[in-house]
Amino acid sequence: MIDINLIRENKELVKENIKKKFQDQKLPLVDEVYDDDIILRETQTKADKLKSEKNKLSEQIGFLMRDKKQDEAAELKEQVSKMKEEIDALELKEENLRIKIKNNMMLIPNIIASDVPIGKSDLENVEEMRFGEPYVPNYEIPYHADIMASFNGLDKDAAGRVSGNGFYYLMGDIARLHSAVLAYARDFMIDKGFTYCIPPFMIHGDSVDGVMSFEEKDAMMYKIEGEDLYLIGTSEHSMIAKFKDQIIKEADLPITLTSYSPCFRKEVGAHGIEERGVYRIHQFEKQEMVVICKPEDSESWYDKMASYSIELFRSLDIPVRKLICCSGDLADLKYRSCDIEAWSPRQQKYFEVCSCSNLTDAQARRLGIRYKNNTGDKVYAHTLNNTVIAPPRMLIAFLENNLNEDGSVNIPLALRPYMGGIEKITTK
């Protein structure tokens, strides 16, 4: 959520930002908020003036009662009673206007960085750099579900019977590999100075509204029937909401956390659920990184967080590239974002495995996350998040890039301690 002062002082900038995101249907919201905010402040001024007059009359009534001037006191009491009714009506109007303004402000996207490329969709994201040499072997790379099946490692048929489409059983060496990469990612981030955390896997609706836009909520979140609880789509949701309505000590910033959680997503939209493999599914596990920092530090943290993802994937012998997300591909709360994409030798193209985002103070305003600076002012913090590793999607890149011609899969040196020291896994 943006600062309302931006609309008060430069609503054309806010409108131009909406146009850059190709959300012209939201343009009327800016004028609506601007006009309602004027009415709200006028209503507050009128109510405050009436309250002051009412207090003065109430004081006069006390003097009149003391002097036993009952008739005059009765007249003033009648005026006070009418004033109270008017004040109550004005306060109700204020409350309704605040709710309306807040609801509209929640729909207006965050101001994006000036250097974000302008484009309508992810098709117009811009490649910034590649890391590692994309390699295509002279033997066939099977579809990832077939690689997993060759190790007796994937059972989607049974999962379909038990849970439906979009779920899976991982078995044997593939399940062990899944756990190994999560443990490796956990320790990798701890070594970077991040504090490890396992958060709640369900959160209240007001926390959901604080961490994401309404459109994302409708497309992603599973709600628990009869409860004000939602299954998280990523541990970022719980981790940022942990600081809801808190005043953080400046000395405690930056807060750097790495968190594990299962993730649950409806995946409503054009992409849909993958029928055969495990690329787009309803349930997966993930290691996440989250930073809460002072505004002047958020851009440097953004660069560092992206670099950590690149370093981690390269340590597992997976070539990656960094894509700068264009304006139309940015979720409403994001100031800037980049995707880290892994090389697929089977498809001979890259696919997304990480998404790093700087949300500036957009989440913090929605959740009330502030810190007290050295002058005593309460300032909204900046929040950032990035995927560390999200298997089983990450396993697709791992298996394809470490697959040998005989069907075995090499275990990179960094991962061997988490796989019992073995150098490769072999088909069953």
CATH of the domain at 214: 3.30.930.10
Could you write out the DSSP letters of every residue in 156-172? HHHHHHHT-TT--EE-H
Joined together, the tokens standing for residue 149 give 């099946």
pLDDT tens-digit readout, 378-391: 999 999 999 999 98
- Last residue of some domain: 105, 134, 151? 105
Give the total number of structural domains in the chain. 2
The pLDDT, as a whole number, for residue 58 is 80
Q: Indicate whether 163 and 64 sit together in one domain.
A: no
Q: Indicate whether 385 and 260 sit together in one domain.
A: yes
Q: Indicate whether 132 and 84 sit together in one domain.
A: no
- 115 lies in some domain: no
Q: Is residue 271 very low, low, confident or very high in pLDDT (cuts 50, 70, 90)?
A: low
How much is the mean pLDDT over the chain? 93
- Before 319, cis peptide (omega within 30)? no
Joined together, the tokens standing for residue 163 give 């849970």
- 111 lies in some domain: no
By the 8 A CB rule, do 380 and 210 touch?
Answer: no
CATH of the domain at 34: 1.10.287.40
pLDDT tens-digit readout, 130-144: 999 999 999 999 999
Whether 227 has a pLDDT exceeding 90, the answer reads yes
Given CA atoms 59, 64, 68, 73 in this order, what sign does their dihedral have? negative
The pLDDT, as a whole number, for residue 69 is 79
Whether 309 has a pLDDT exceeding 90, the answer reads yes
Structural element, H or E, at residue 237: helix 235-241
Which residue is it, tokens 């959680």? 261
Whether 21 has a pLDDT exceeding 80, the answer reads yes
- 19 lies in some domain: yes
Whether 201 has a pLDDT exceeding 60, the answer reads yes
Q: Is residue 272 very low, low, confident or very high in pLDDT (cuts 50, 70, 90)?
A: low
Structural element, H or E, at residue 88: helix 70-105
The pLDDT, as a whole number, for residue 268 is 63
- How much of the chain, in percent, has pLDDT values that exceed 90? 83
Domain membership of residue 43 as a residue range: 4-105
Please state whether the predicted TM-score (pTM) of the whole model is above 0.75: yes
Burial of 289 per CB tally in 10 Å (0-12, 13-18, 19+): buried
pLDDT tens-digit readout, 369-424: 999 998 889 999 999 999 999 988 899 999 999 999 999 999 999 999 999 999 99
Q: How far apart are CA 327 and CA 273, in angstroms?
A: 25
Which whole number is the average pLDDT over 322-329?
97
Q: Indicate whether 258 and 378 sit together in one domain.
A: yes
Q: Indicate whether 141 and 9 sit together in one domain.
A: no
Which whole number is the average pLDDT over 77-92?
88
Q: Is residue 82 very low, low, confident or very high in pLDDT (cuts 50, 70, 90)?
A: confident
Q: Indicate whether 282 and 251 sit together in one domain.
A: yes
- Look at 64 and 222; give whichever has higher pLDDT: 222
- How many CB atoms lie under 10 A from the CB of residue 236? 28
Q: Find the helix packing angle between 70-105 and 27-66, rounded to 10°.
A: 160
Q: Indicate whether 167 and 93 sit together in one domain.
A: no
pLDDT tens-digit readout, 129-181: 999 999 999 999 999 999 999 999 999 999 999 999 889 999 999 999 999 99
Three-point CA angle 96, 101, 106, nearest 5°:
130
- Before 254, cis peptide (omega within 30)? yes
